[in-house]
Chain A
Amino acid sequence: MSQIYIITGHYGSGKTEFSVNFALSLKEKHDNVMLVDLDIVNPYFRSHDAKEMLEQAGITVMAPHYAGTNVDIPVLPPEIMRIFEEKDACIVLDVGGDDDGAIALGRYKQYFDKVNYEMYLVVNTRRPLTSTPEEIIEMKENIEIASRLTVTGFISDTNLADETTEEIIMEGVSVTDEVSSATSLPVVYVCTQPGMTLSGVPSEKQFPITRHLLKI
């Protein structure tokens, strides 16, 4: 049976960088790893941008028909149905931001109901609109309504891009822990910078993120 990981969250939470890094880490232990870019919201900066690098690492990449071209039509290709038929694969679905992006999942509910999926909500408390536990829970509920699926865990990815410090990351960890208690769902990973070790977070939960996407 395959395992599907759906990565959602507020856009700007770090979903896409996490998805790419996560796919690469899964590849270390599994043969068949796929990354599906399901972003129907973001015209620039998407996991498709890292396609070449991921394919060289032996990861299959699937994206909307026009991703990486300069058309903004959010067409989802029929090939995506493959993810429900793959055997023994690890599939990472990078879903566009907020409920606006999560709505793309809604049409696949009948298929998701039959497979194993984990849906992780990536949280960056330094993003306005997801800085308090109440706002994060509201976002979780909106995403669940739009996708018709259930969130199974959180990824704490609080960051300020190039200005991220250990303090900022830990600030986000404490908010995400509050959300975790309130919802009885685990914090699966805490994202860190390469070379950084966080005291106070179990080491198996720490997940260093290397930035792979285009930036000026």
Chain B
Amino acid sequence: MAEKVLVKGNEAIAEAAIQAGCRYFFGYPITPQTEISAYMAKRMPKIGGVFLQAESEVSAANMVYGAAGAGARVMTSSSSPGISLKAEAISYMAGADLPCVVINVVRAGPGLGGIQPAQSDYFQATKGHGHGDYRLIVLAPSSVQEIVDMTAEAFDLADIYRTPVMILADGMLGQMMEPVVFEKKESKRVIPEKTWATTGTEMKREHNVINSLYIEPNTLEKLVLERYERYKRIEETECKYEAYKTEDAEFILTGYGSVARICKNAVDALREQGIKAGLIRPITLWPFPSDAYINETKNAKAILTVEMSMGQMVEDVKLSVNGKVPVHFFGRTGGNIPYPNEVIEAVKKIIGGDK
């Protein structure tokens, strides 16, 4: 058993990527994730890897495209405004079926916004962002240890399904220090060989082409349909969530990332006050764990979605619940963090005073 060390969220991401075999990192500084670049700058040269600070987030993302197309495990990271810049490259990577890992340490927006944490990039990550029909696998860690485990998993998922994978952290998680274990777990998954990569033909095979341009509609449609078959497999097999004290819960709190930690504290406090509260914590935001909102809400009379935004995930919660249970929303924005007592107040308001 490897020993525990104290690590910052941002450092955990970088070290976990290296342990997952990532040897290429292209990035650009932006608060609050600059430590990822700084860590990679120190570590990569020592292990024969490549760290390159690009001239912009746009260039960095395109360097990722090139490296991914050449068959490497490669990563980039940024925060909200920089992720907007990467939208083009991510769409191109999705359209060329390229594997890579993209980290978003979310900060307040829109525009330049602020440097404090937020969760207002949920739509960007799961619904829109780049142009065209595609989905990104989106993972939402809630502790530094989970960041470590998830980053390793992200590279496997990317390679198996040939898709970019995004880890949606937030400023709080990026900056907090927690004890973790970096255990080099042998992956039980079968990672296919990258016979499609541009490594040079050596005059032994037909040339490989990495491309997303298909001007013949039927050809493009066929490709997109094939891609969506893969997405369907992902939805069927890779969905993840955590259910906390939901078995008899009458009031369900739901949130992800840092907010889920706050909600857990709120659940415990509410239970002490005799309110049967529970928590549903999505771990994959895409595929969204819709089933959780059917299976874990047997006794629920209401659901409160808590986010550091004006309400983005709440729409998916409503879709999943499909009118069965009323869904409420409580959020803070601008970089503010909802504290447990605020969440408890919001719950009580909905229930109608003290129980």
State if A and B touch, Cβ cutoff 8 Å. yes
Residues of A within 8 A of B (CB): 11-12, 42-45, 70-72, 100, 124, 126-129, 131, 159-163, 215-216
Residue of chain A at shortest CB distance from B262: A216
Q: State A100–B31 Cα separation when bound (angstroms).
A: 15
Select B6's contact among A42, A71, A159, A215, beta carbons within 8 Å. A159
* A131 and B114 contacting across the interface, CB-CB below 8 Å: no
Stretch at the interface among B80-88, B176-184, B346-354: B176-184
* B337 and A161 contacting across the interface, CB-CB below 8 Å: no
* A71 and B4 contacting across the interface, CB-CB below 8 Å: no
A161 surroundings in chain B (CB, below 8 A): 6, 177-179
B1-23 contacts to A, CB under 8 A, are: 3-8, 11, 15
A160 surroundings in chain B (CB, below 8 A): 4-6, 179
Shortest CB-to-CB span from A48 to chain B, Å, is: 14
Q: Chain B: how many interface residues by the 8 Å CB criterion?
A: 28
A128 surroundings in chain B (CB, below 8 A): 5, 7, 11, 15
* A70 and B179 contacting across the interface, CB-CB below 8 Å: no
B11 surroundings in chain A (CB, below 8 A): 128
Select A43's contact among B5, B175, B258, B261, beta carbons within 8 Å. B175
* A43 and B115 contacting across the interface, CB-CB below 8 Å: yes
* B4 and A126 contacting across the interface, CB-CB below 8 Å: yes
Q: A126-B4, A160-B4, A216-B337 are in contact. Are A100 and B178 (CB under 8 A)?
A: no
Q: Is B38 an interface residue (CB 8 A)?
A: yes
* A127 and B5 contacting across the interface, CB-CB below 8 Å: yes
| Chain A to chain B: the 8 pairs with minimum beta-carbon distance, closest first | A160-B179, A70-B114, A72-B31, A44-B175, A163-B179, A126-B6, A126-B5, A72-B115
Q: State A70–B335 Cα separation when bound (angstroms).
A: 8
A45 surroundings in chain B (CB, below 8 A): 175-176
The 8 A CB mask of B45-84 against A (1 = contact, 0 = none) is 0000000000000000000000000000000000000000
Which of A42, A45, A124, A160 is the most central at the interface, judged by chain B CB atoms within 10 Å of its CB?
Answer: A160
Residue of chain B at shortest CB distance from A131: B5
* A127 and B7 contacting across the interface, CB-CB below 8 Å: yes
B23-51 contacts to A, CB under 8 A, are: 31-32, 38, 42
Q: Is B333 an interface residue (CB 8 A)?
A: no
Which of B4, B5, B42, B258 is the most central at the interface, judged by chain A CB atoms within 10 Å of its CB?
Answer: B5
Interface CB pairs A-B, < 8 A, 21: A12-B6, A12-B177, A42-B175, A43-B171, A44-B175, A45-B175, A70-B114, A72-B32, A72-B115, A100-B38, A124-B6, A128-B5, A128-B7, A128-B11, A128-B15, A160-B4, A160-B179, A162-B179, A163-B179, A215-B176, A216-B176
